[in-house]
């Protein structure tokens, strides 16, 4: 027993110390190295699963890979692949403006209806462009109401078992068929609250986009130059009142927080109404909600980029709202119901084509935020392997985060990881992060030119940066077939363990 323990400790020292070369094509050495990584002291009490296969399905390595676990954002692999199957790579969202009533010259005697189908790429500028089109069509007065039609989806705004304390933050934003993003990361359903040092000891707060839809309760102050930045932004539950507290140092950089709005439909309608006014179109009635009447005529239209392009911000930046919008869009496409239930049924209907028994997974949302999602590394690798034969594979593969690539829309959530290793520019993989959960699944090309698929999903992590261990695995796989010295990141316990995707806190 003692000899076995001494041998294991020596092997761990080999893997993490990088003291010896790895023999080319030595699968026994690869197995021993991966075993040692998973036996790292930082993994004590956790539940890791790891599987590696060649492109043609040959098993290279597995450790408890058949057990289901919470996948976190690795769930987006399932959502994106099935969305490409159900909706197609050329699928586009549309946002339209309709005239419901009779028109006489520049006057519409009736309602103006803004209708959405879930486009997560709509910016304030796009609503302004729609308003300009309405004005260009010659309309100047609407005697009725501005009607916001978000009936393409249901009115269930958040997913099953999403954490209540994450509700104010943009990565937990509400899902609606009418929404708006504050930036070209397309963080739909959110607003950016910016806090800057100001005069007379006060802090100055602005929003992007500028709007009177939200209320800012600002008690933040400007502290002395060089003092600590203690700014905190929150949202009062059930409202659009944002509280800003703390201190920002004089001369310090602006603090920006991405926050979810309450009822994105109304937010989008308020931006559109304001834009109409800027373009000289007066709406006499109030803003309300409803459906487009059958006899209404289209006045203006805006279509999104195709799904093949949306995959980039979606997967690179692990955008939760894109995932949930796609799920509801799949439901609408397959059963005329824009609901999570219908959408997840559409997802499940495609799983068997990827070698996954839909009865053996639990899918409760599209993003992986739900703690009720359950899938195994084996099932994720099955999907990754089968996806290689899909006609859309190249777009999907390139949309995955790429290790060590510094451009945000290339490296994504892997842009700061595995730099200076054989995995840099090589590993294309989806990350996942929740408290106690970390995952990395994707593709790696070995030193001798083989493409392998792998999935590592760990639950019950505590007190260690699990991503370093995932990096260790990916780097070791990238080195297979060479005699290069191993370069493995540190796996020492950390008091600053990330519990969120780095993109969710705008850190990558």
Q: Which one, of 472, 440, 296, lies nearest residue 368 by Cα?
A: 440
In contact, 172 and 320? CB cutoff 8 Å: yes
**What is the DSSP-derived secondary structure letter of residue 237?**
T
Token pair for 475: 């780097």
Instruction: Give the separation between CA 368 and CA 72, rounded to whole angstroms.
Output: 4
Secondary structure (3-state) at 345? helix
Please list the active-site residues: 73, 76, 318
Helix axes 340-351 and 320-335, enclosed angle (nearest 10): 80
Q: Which one, of 181, 354, 311, 349, lies nearest residue 259 by Cα?
A: 181
Instruction: Give the separation between CA 341 and CA 338, rounded to whole angstroms.
Output: 9
Instruction: Give the separation between CA 260 and CA 264, rounded to whole angstroms.
Output: 9
Instruction: Give the separation between CA 80 and CA 85, rounded to whole angstroms.
Output: 9
Give the H/E segment covering residue 197: strand 190-197
β pairing state of 141-142 and 107-116: parallel
Please, which residues bridge with residue 283 across strands?
142
């Amino acid at each position: 027993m003692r000899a076995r323990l001494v041998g294991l400790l020596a092997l761990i020292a080999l893997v993490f110390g990088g003291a010896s070369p790895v023999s080319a094509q030595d699968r026994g050495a690869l197995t021993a190295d991966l075993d040692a990584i998973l036996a790292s002291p930082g993994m004590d009490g956790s539940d890791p699963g790891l599987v590696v296969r060649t492109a043609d399905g040959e098993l290279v390595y597995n450790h408890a890979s058949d057990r289901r676990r919470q996948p976190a954002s690795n769930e987006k692999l399932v959502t994106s692949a099935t969305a490409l199957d159900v909706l197609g790579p050329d699928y586009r969202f549309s946002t339209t403006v309709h005239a419901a009533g009779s028109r006489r010259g520049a006057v519409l005697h009736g309602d103006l209806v803004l209708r959405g189908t879930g486009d997560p790429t709509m910016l304030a500028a796009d609503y302004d462009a729609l308003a300009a089109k309405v004005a260009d069509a010659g309309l100047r007065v609407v005697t009725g109401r501005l009607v916001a039609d978000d009936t393409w989806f249901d009115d269930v705004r958040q997913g099953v078992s999403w954490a209540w304390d994450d509700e104010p933050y943009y990565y937990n934003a509400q899902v609606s068929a009418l929404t708006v993003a504050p930036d070209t990361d397309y963080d739909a359903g959110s607003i950016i609250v910016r806090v800057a040092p100001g005069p007379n000891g006060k802090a100055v707060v602005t929003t992007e986009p500028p709007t009177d839809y939200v209320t800012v309760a600002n008690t933040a102050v400007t502290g002395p130059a060089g003092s600590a930045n203690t700014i905190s932004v929150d949202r009062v539950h059930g409202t659009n009142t944002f509280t800003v507290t703390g201190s920002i140092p004089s001369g310090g950089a602006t603090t920006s927080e991405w926050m979810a709005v309450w009822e994105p439909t109304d937010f989008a309608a308020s931006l559109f109404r304001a834009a109409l006014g800027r373009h000289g179109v007066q709406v006499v009635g109030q803003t309300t909600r409803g459906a487009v009447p059958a006899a209404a005529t289209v006045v203006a239209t805006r279509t999104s980029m195709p799904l093949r392009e949306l995959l980039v911000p979606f997967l690179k930046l692990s955008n939760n709202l894109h995932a949930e919008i796609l799920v509801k869009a799949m439901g609408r496409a397959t059963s005329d119901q824009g609901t999570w239930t219908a959408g997840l049924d559409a997802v499940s209907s495609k799983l068997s084509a990827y070698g996954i028994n839909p009865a053996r997974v639990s899918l409760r949302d599209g993003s992986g935020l739900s703690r009720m999602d359950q899938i195994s590394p084996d099932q994720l690798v099955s999907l990754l392997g089968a996806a290689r034969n899909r006609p859309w594979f190249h777009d999907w593969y390139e949309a995955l985060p790429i290790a060590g690539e510094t451009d945000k829309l290339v490296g994504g959530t892997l842009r700061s990881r595995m730099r200076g290793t054989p995995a840099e520019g090589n590993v294309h993989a989806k990350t996942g992060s929740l408290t106690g959960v970390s995952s990395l699944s994707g593709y790696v090309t070995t030193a001798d030119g083989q493409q392998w698929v792998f999935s590592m999903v760990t639950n019950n992590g505590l007190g260690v940066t699990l991503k370093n261990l995932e990096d260790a695995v990916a780097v070791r796989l990238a080195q297979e077939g060479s005699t290069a010295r191993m370069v493995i990141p540190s796996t020492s316990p950390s008091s600053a363990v990330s519990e969120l995707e780095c993109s969710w806190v705008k850190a990558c």
